[in-house]
Chain A
Amino acid sequence: MSILVGRETRLVVQGITGREGEFHSRAMLDYGTPLVAGVTPGKGGQTALDGRVPVFDTVAEAVRQTGANTSCIYVPAAGAPDAILEAAGAGIGTVICITEGIPALDMLTTAEAVAQAGVRLIGPNCPGVTSPGQAKVGIIPGSIHRVGRVGVVSRSGTLTYEAVQAMTDAGIGQSTCVGIGGDPIIGTTFLDILQLFAEDSETDAIVLIGEIGGAAEEAAAGWAAQHLRGVPMAAFIAGRTAPEGKRMGHAGAIISGGTGTAAGKVAALEEAGIRVAASPTEIPALLRAAGVN
């Protein structure tokens, strides 16, 4: 099964003819992802990636002609909320938004509308979702993965690559790796992904990679304590040395009023029985200790 993306994915890329969109679409296609359509308004009828992918003017048309069920968005920030809503309106079930720099208040209304439509939104400002050996949607390098049974969920990009590479080097494969995004307002939280992994028959263990800011890691830890006892888990939290009141790159990564600290998150995870690595390279050893072979 895996979660969110897999063999049953039929992907449409919104913004496929842009620089980023084209570069990453090629990598997704080369990985073997079922990329069936691209959308760029005004370029309908053309093809992208050397004729390998048909381009449509609207997502609705792409869905009608190709049966696309999942969208990946590379549209610039000013147009990205509209692109998300277009996908939701066209009947796409899972929307993965890579775009960074979307104003938070735009995401408040967009996330609400998407939730009311019953559509799953991943991101924005996320690296995407990969189910190794099945489908790669987003910008995560395909080379770092190994097929396996550990689910990975993270707020970061390159930090996720670091952790996944360490797992792969240690011979621990992944079922699905999900980057939920580093913005304050995102469509899908750690807790949502833990629930999906808990129900996935191909996921036996879970790695959670968090960072300072907000309380999403704490909420996930609280749920895990209730529902994931017995499931091998390991975690990492970035920002133990981050000063208060400074936004550490990600719009969501800021300690304010004494909340959102790494220490608080580590304590919440450990209280839930989840061991927290001091370095991403220690994640494989913690997984082994928790019972992953």
Chain B
Amino acid sequence: MKIQEADAKSLLVAQGLPVPPWEVARTPAEARAAAERVFAAGAERVVIKAQVLVGGRGKAGGVKLAGDGDEAQEVAGRILGMEIKGITVRKVLVAEAADIVKEFYLGAVLDRGERRILLMGSAEGGVEIEQVAAERPDAIVRIHAHPLLGLLDWQARQMAFGLGLGAHRQAAAAIAKGLVSTMLANDADLVEINPLAIVRTRAADGAEQLALQCLDAKITLDDSALHRHPGLEELRDLDEEDPADIAARAEGISFIKLDGTIGCMVNGAGLAMTTMDLVKRAGGEPANFLDIGGGARADRVAAAMRLILSDPKVRAILVNIFGGITRGDEVAHGLIEARALQHRDVPMVVRIVGTNAEEAARLLTEARFETAASLDEAAAKAVAAAGVASPAS
């Protein structure tokens, strides 16, 4: 699960990491009030950042500076309601615009191959780390945390020196350790600070000083562990989710909406991906990824059918079930029930093999479903059916 920048920053602060203060605003007036509090504290400019779960906010015009309250309100008015990669901006983050001296990247991820937490740092912050990794792999410092003891002090120091942060080594090492502890405390897959920056700040007596600060944060959480962090589940941003995704989660169905016209219902993730691939190979475009999960019964099949049909672009449905735990006859019953309740007439091609496939075949034939013996045949039939079906009205 992805969470918003502001929520990610809160998780960093909880682990003691240095994050400059911020506020979240939902209206231009709220943004103005927040900005005026920042100006009252002595700031010269504020930064207003769209809170969306997709990358590329800056390029899309979702991050802007403002020099006074009027401008903050005006800028926030332009960002709120804007669409970034199909997502409508509903919140902005307001904070003092940092006086950046130098930017770094620091991130912690799961390294699957090594079965370790991998801490990655780069003195080229502010840009996509993947780009740095591809073009200049030597510019990235990589350190694997100890699998049982976590990131050790010497490893954190090694990262600090590796980034050329010798002058800030204590702060940098503490941030490196804090990144890994944020990951462990929240069951995160990824914790990224980009940029981590040396910023110029003024002390109470007016003297300038340099400090390391986390200016942006990105955290993704392990869905399998959310049940043991009830507070984190509340950070799920339902505003940004498709209603179909929310319905799928409630039914225990794994569902991802795509752009095509052929709805797919499959048991098993690998087979669901394969079914999509074969639809494409047969000249069609899959409308979704959908895994009904193991042991699905008639009611879950009916729920899956509703999800698929909630997409008006769907012009044919391909059902591919390889029964193991899942019983073919249960699926057939679910399909027959679902079709009886279906509001629009979408052609369906069904292939059921494995456990109780013979009983399923009998039920489907009686109910006059179009069936297919092989997966390739099923894909070809579904693509043909989508081609001749009339578009959804």
Interface set of A (CB-CB < 8 Å, partner B) = 20, 23, 77, 101-109, 111-113, 127, 139-141, 143-144, 154-162, 165, 182, 184-185, 189, 209, 211-212, 214-216, 219, 236, 238-243, 246-253, 257-259, 262, 278-281
Contacts and interface: CB of A to CB of B under 8 A. Distances in A.
A211 B270 contact: yes
Nearest to B228: A103
Interface stretch (B14-22, B62-70, B135-143, B272-280): B272-280
B270 A238 contact: yes
Nearest to B54: A245
6 contacts: A101-B224, A143-B354, A161-B324, A215-B113, A246-B289, A280-B375
B367 to A, nearest CB: 24
B233 interface: no
Contact of A158 (B116, B129, B322): B322
B28 interface: no
Interface string B351-368: 001110000000000000
B222 interface: yes
Given A139-B324, A161-B354, A242 B273 contact: yes
Nearest to B259: A243
A278 B376 CA distance: 10
Interface centre among B254, B294, B322 (most CB of A within 10 A): B322
B375 A108 contact: no
What is the size category of the interface that chain B forms with chain A? 35 or more
B392 interface: no
Contacts of A154: 270
A241 B268 contact: no
Contacts of A113: 148
Interface in B113-170: 113, 115-117, 128-130, 133-134, 147-148
A104 B222 contact: yes
A73 to B, nearest CB: 16
Interface in B213-261: 222-225, 228, 254, 256, 258
Given A241-B279, A249-B254, 16 more contacts: A104-B222, A105-B187, A108-B110, A140-B324, A141-B324, A141-B355, A144-B354, A157-B294, A162-B375, A182-B269, A189-B113, A219-B113, A239-B277, A251-B222, A251-B223, A279-B274
Interface centre among A158, A250, A259 (most CB of B within 10 A): A158
Contacts of B286: 241
Given A102-B224, A281-B375, A158 B278 contact: no
Given A111-B115, A279-B281, A238 B147 contact: no
A36 B256 CA distance: 42
B273 A157 contact: no
B269 A248 contact: yes
B59 interface: no
A185 B110 contact: yes
B112 interface: yes
B225 A103 contact: yes
A158 B270 contact: yes
Contact of A249 (B129, B272, B355): B272
B267 interface: yes
Contacts of A104: 110, 187, 189, 222, 224-225
B336 to A, nearest CB: 22
Contact of A105 (B225, B258, B278, B353): B225
Contacts of A109: 147-148
Interface of B: 110, 112-113, 115-117, 128-130, 133-134, 147-148, 183-184, 187, 189, 222-225, 228, 254, 256, 258, 266-274, 276-281, 286, 289, 291, 294, 322-325, 353-355, 374-376
Nearest to B354: A141
A140 B294 CA distance: 12
A251 B322 CA distance: 21
Contact of B113 (A165, A216, A236): A216
Contact of A242 (B189, B225, B254, B289): B289
Nearest to B266: A158
A249 B269 contact: yes
Contacts of B267: 158
B210 to A, nearest CB: 31
A140 to B, nearest CB: 7
A241 B270 contact: no
B274 to A, nearest CB: 5
B273 A182 contact: no
A140 B165 CA distance: 54
A157 B270 contact: yes
Contacts of B353: 165
B277 A214 contact: no
A212 B273 contact: yes
A112 B147 contact: yes
Nearest to A125: B224
B112 A112 contact: no
Contact of A241 (B116, B187, B277, B291): B277
Nearest to A103: B225
A291 B324 CA distance: 31
A144 B324 CA distance: 10
A185 B271 contact: no
B270 A250 contact: yes
A139 to B, nearest CB: 6
Contacts of B254: 249
A127 B279 CA distance: 25
Interface centre among B224, B225, B354 (most CB of A within 10 A): B224
A110 to B, nearest CB: 10
Contact of B184 (A23, A105, A216, A249): A105
Contacts of A101: 224
B37 to A, nearest CB: 36
A249 B130 contact: no
A159 to B, nearest CB: 3
Nearest to A239: B273
Instruction: Return the 6 tightest CB-CB contacts between A and B, nearest first.
Output: A156-B270, A249-B269, A158-B268, A159-B270, A103-B225, A257-B130
Contacts of B273: 159, 211-212, 238-239, 241-242, 248-249, 253
Nearest to A209: B270
